[in-house]
Amino acid sequence: MLTIEDYYIYLFPINLAISGKGGIGTFIGICAISGAFGVADAHVQGGMVGDLSYMHPEFVQSFFGGLAASGALTSGLRLITKAAFENSKDGLRKGAILFFAISSFFELLCVLLYAFDDDFAQTQERKGNKQLFLENIDYLVDMFLIFALTLSIFPGFLSEDTGAHSLGTWYALVLIAMYNVWDLIGRYIPLLEFLKLESRKFITVAILCRFLLVPAFYVTAKYGDQGWMIMLTSFLGLSNGYLTVCVMTSAPKGYKGPEQNALGNMLVLFLLGGIFAGVTLDWLWLIGKGW
């Protein structure tokens, strides 16, 4: 999944080149780079999940666990840079540059490691994409709904609708960090077989129940304190990670390798569709606030 570090890799050189200044040219450049990277991310993620599903569906858990770990690491790094540069002149930009530089190093390291990957794919007969789609439409819709809900709340709503709290400027960062940490924890819970949800019906019911978080966040933002918001955000991350892994590891079971590969690609397609829908729906939180 697209992570915040990925944007840093491409926006970091632009920021240095323009010395932090804005402008229409800079804005267009950032939009173009972000769009190009989105296309690349979709191709790479679809290929990775497809290959891992082809090899062994359980490998998908490790992949998505790694994605969550990158989010938790990013949040930790952001907290460190904020603490280090909070009171210095132009501290926000200095902290961001250090943040970007470290993230760029790790991203480059991952690219180099991936370059040593070998492709042993073999052509085999399999079911058609249409048949796979119809047989797994519930899993595909589940994946879409998981991320549509999550991205409609995180990170936009958590960053914007923070109000006044004792944590001050740290509040939004703490919320995002809590989401990332619990998302990571949630993705490793299914490793315990007795806690793994494998029933298609129960997975769908659990995903639909998550939509109760929408009114819960609305009421908490309006009437609750920061403790309740932190708890809700933690549960949002926990349920997102847990249900994502449950769907991703359960769906490919019972299929041949090439079918698992194709189904993995479909799941990522609906995952990314959910992300797009979520960030679009995120604007609905602005209703009644002068928009």
pLDDT tens per residue across span 40-76: 777 777 777 877 777 776 778 888 888 788 778 777 8
pLDDT at 159 over 80: no
Nearest to 63 by CA among 208, 245, 237, 189: 245
> How far is 231 from 215, CA to CA, in rounded Å?
15
pLDDT digits (tens, 9 = 90+) for 98-152: 766 776 777 677 667 666 655 555 556 788 889 999 999 999 999 999 999 999 9
Q: Is 185 among the domain residues?
A: yes
Report whether 248 contacts 136 (CB < 8 A): no
Report whether 241 contacts 182 (CB < 8 A): yes
Number of structural domains in the chain: 1
Rounded to the nearest 5°, which phi and psi values hold at 161? -95, 60
Domain extent for 103:
4-116+128-286
Mean pLDDT, to the nearest integer, of 89-94?
Answer: 66
> How far is 81 from 197, CA to CA, in rounded Å?
38
pLDDT digits (tens, 9 = 90+) for 29-42: 777 877 777 777 77
pTM equals 0.75
HSE (CB half, 13 Å, CA atoms) of 103?
Answer: 27
Mean pLDDT, to the nearest integer, of 7-14?
Answer: 46
The DSSP letter of residue 197 is -
Q: Is 99 among the domain residues?
A: yes
pLDDT at 6 over 50: no
Residue 72 tokens, joined: 């938790």
pLDDT digits (tens, 9 = 90+) for 233-261: 999 999 999 999 999 989 888 888 888 88
* Kind and range of the H or E run holding 28: helix 24-55
Q: Which of 78-92, 144-158, 173-187 is predicted least confidently?
A: 78-92
Residue type, 250: S
Report whether 140 contacts 270 (CB < 8 A): yes
